[in-house]
Amino acid sequence: MALFKKAFKTLFTEGPVSFVKKTLNFIKRVFYGVPAQVNPAIYNFTLDFSRPPLDKKTLDERFRSTDKNRLAINWIIPDMGLGSGGHTTIFRIIKHLESFGHKNRIYIFGGTKHGSNKKLKKFINENFFNLEAEIFNSIENIKDSDALIATSWQTAYPVRNIQNTRKKFYFVQDFEPWFYPMSSEYLLAENTYKFGFYGICAGPWLAKTVGERYGMSADFFNLAFDPKIYYPRGRVEPLKLESRDEHNFKKTVTLEATKKPRIVCYARPVTPRRCFELLVQALRELYVRGVDFDLSLVGWDMSPYIIPFEFKNLRILTHEGLAKLYSWADLGIVFSPTNYSLLPHEMMACKLPVLELKRETTEIVFKDGDNITLADPDPIAIADKLEWLLNNPAKRKEIAENAYEYVQQFSWEKSGRKVEEILKNHITQNT
């Protein structure tokens, strides 16, 4: 009835031409649906936080006479979910900086699904690390600091605009333009390397890349592993693991004894840079060749996905569960074609031989054929390397032993000290 009233009102107040146009538009919407709308406003922050910075304000006496062994460090981070490797590294570094005597604050940019400051802190403490840091669910009323640190391309925009800090840094864990096709997002991410922040990069390739391509001053720390968790364990059979999905629904998964070679793959279809499709095609080729193997996929709930061979869906595991899994398996597969990942080091620490993609990002940190096996990013080439490894247990063992020795040089305390050194040196230079 209301629709007819509106139609007659249009006819008598706007005339027959307007009435016909609106009627035709209404019919189109009914039969063809409303077209998907592009909302450019979601990137308002790239302009709001891109305006030229104000003249630097003089900070209070506390910052002019700061003890560099007691720094106040503000971190601007995006929201997080379960199993986020990038957030794990950020919080791990914060944990070490706390132990060195520095005060840390964490601010979420872009909103959070975790609610209040108290609930957010509870989520971080229960699922990552128990931190002393103050944790805030927005960047409103951000406190004065010695160091202000961006941790993703989106957070670099507010960091560029915030002025009540002595020095700005960029904690770069990956080359984020590669997360996108050539697009607005690619260019907006790329622009952040030109903002003048000092880069604290995860590994040498990133520091080299942002320096050579964008003139960004940067240093790097090494990715490491926790030796209290990741170490060679005896194979447990059957192996019971507590698994959960991204909504934290838990269940127990049991891996039975098998005579087949056991392959564990990090599979995360929701993250394009993990090359899930390439992984599936390589495994499919191996399967078609008649190679017998036992397959476990870990990193995400795989139940919605159609995979043309048998596998065990381990979903998301705790660090303790991953360590047990790596000691149970014969071969680990991790694809990370942007920057190198935490996972190979953790697998290597459990003496699990690793297959990765051959890229400039991996060749700079690993030695193919010595402490890792690198394959060209092609399903046939990957399947060839997999088949060779499965047929050569002695070579697998040699690579695993070399890799275990290789990762012993790394520790998170050393990496935390390196980050601290970068902060101290460049805050002092800025005074």
Helix (H) or strand (E) holding 35: none
DSSP 133-194: SEEESS-TTPPPEEEEEE-SHHHHHHHHH--SEEEEEEEE-S-GGGGSSSSHHHHHHHHGGG
Q: Which burial class, exposed, middle or buried, applies to 87 when counting CB atoms under 10 A from its CB (0-12, 13-18, 19+)? A: buried
Quick one: pLDDT at residue 54? 43
Query: Residue 62 — very low, low, confident or very high, per pLDDT cuts 50/70/90?
Result: low
The CA distance from 335 to 377, in Å, is 9
End-to-end CA distance of the chain: 72
Residue whose token pair is 């601007």: 76
Residue 417's closest CA among 231, 230, 227, 219?
Answer: 219
Say whether pLDDT at 28 is over 60.
no
| Residue-wise pLDDT tens digits, 173-212 | 999 999 999 999 999 999 999 999 999 999 999 999 999 9
Query: Residue 60 — very low, low, confident or very high, per pLDDT cuts 50/70/90?
Result: very low
The CA distance from 93 to 412, in Å, is 8
Query: 129: helix, coil or strand?
Result: coil
Residue 146's closest CA among 170, 162, 160, 166?
Answer: 166
Query: Residue 35 — very low, low, confident or very high, per pLDDT cuts 50/70/90?
Result: very low
Query: Residue 14 — very low, low, confident or very high, per pLDDT cuts 50/70/90?
Result: low
Quick one: pLDDT at residue 65? 54
Query: Residue 12 — very low, low, confident or very high, per pLDDT cuts 50/70/90?
Result: low
Tell me the pairing of strands 354-357 and 373-375. Answer: parallel
The CA distance from 117 to 299, in Å, is 28
Quick one: pLDDT at residue 310? 94
Residue whose token pair is 């840079």: 273
The larger pLDDT score, comparing residue 24 to residue 275, is at 275
What token pair was written down for 167? 């020095």
Question: 193 Cβ partners below 8 Å, 6+ apart?
Answer: 170, 199, 210, 213, 214, 216
In this predicted structure, which of 60-64, 74-78, 235-239, 253-257 has the lowest mean pLDDT?
A: 60-64
| Residue-wise pLDDT tens digits, 349-373 | 999 999 999 999 999 999 999 999 9
Q: Given phi > 0 = left and psi -120 to 50 = alpha, else beta, which region is 380?
A: alpha
Q: Strand ranges (DSSP E) for 299-429?
A: 312-317, 331-333, 354-357, 373-375
What token pair was written down for 179? 């997360």
Query: 339: helix, coil or strand?
Result: coil
Query: 412: helix, coil or strand?
Result: helix
Say whether pLDDT at 44 is over 70.
yes
Quick one: pLDDT at residue 214? 98
| Mean pLDDT over the full length of the chain | 90
The CA distance from 166 to 148, in Å, is 8
Decide: 291 and 388 in contact? Cβ < 8 Å: no
Quick one: pLDDT at residue 55? 46
Quick one: pLDDT at residue 248? 84
Quick one: pLDDT at residue 246? 86
Quick one: pLDDT at residue 428? 76
The C-alpha angle with vertex 147 and arms to 146 and 152, in degrees rounded to 5, equals 160
| Residue-wise pLDDT tens digits, 92-131 | 999 999 999 999 999 999 889 999 999 999 999 999 999 9
Say whether pLDDT at 247 is over 90.
no
Using a pLDDT cut of 70, give the percent of the chain over it. 85
What is the 3 state secondary structure string of 37-67? CCCHHHHHHHHHCCCCCCCCCCCCHHHHCCC
Q: Using N-to-C axis directions, what is the helix angle for 16-32 and 2-14, rounded to 10°?
A: 140
How is the beta sheet containing 373-375 ordered, strand by strand? Answer: 250-255, 239-244, 312-317, 294-298, 262-266, 331-333, 354-357, 373-375
| pLDDT (average), residues 305-321 | 94
The larger pLDDT score, comparing residue 25 to residue 389, is at 389
The CA distance from 134 to 146, in Å, is 15
| Residue-wise pLDDT tens digits, 72-81 | 999 999 999 8
Decide: 323 and 233 in contact? Cβ < 8 Å: yes
Which residue type occupies 79?
D
Residue 105's closest CA among 124, 82, 83, 84?
Answer: 124
Say whether pLDDT at 18 is over 80.
no
Quick one: pLDDT at residue 81? 86
| pLDDT (average), residues 234-254 | 93
What token pair was written down for 332? 């680990």
Question: 210 Cβ partners below 8 Å, 6+ apart?
Answer: 172, 175, 193, 199, 201, 216, 218
Cα of 92 vs its chain's centroid, Å:
14
Going along the chain from its start, the domains and CATH numbers come out as 69-221+413-430 (3.40.50.11090), 239-409 (3.40.50.2000)
Phi and psi at residue 134, to the nearest 5°:
-70, 140
Quick one: pLDDT at residue 30? 52
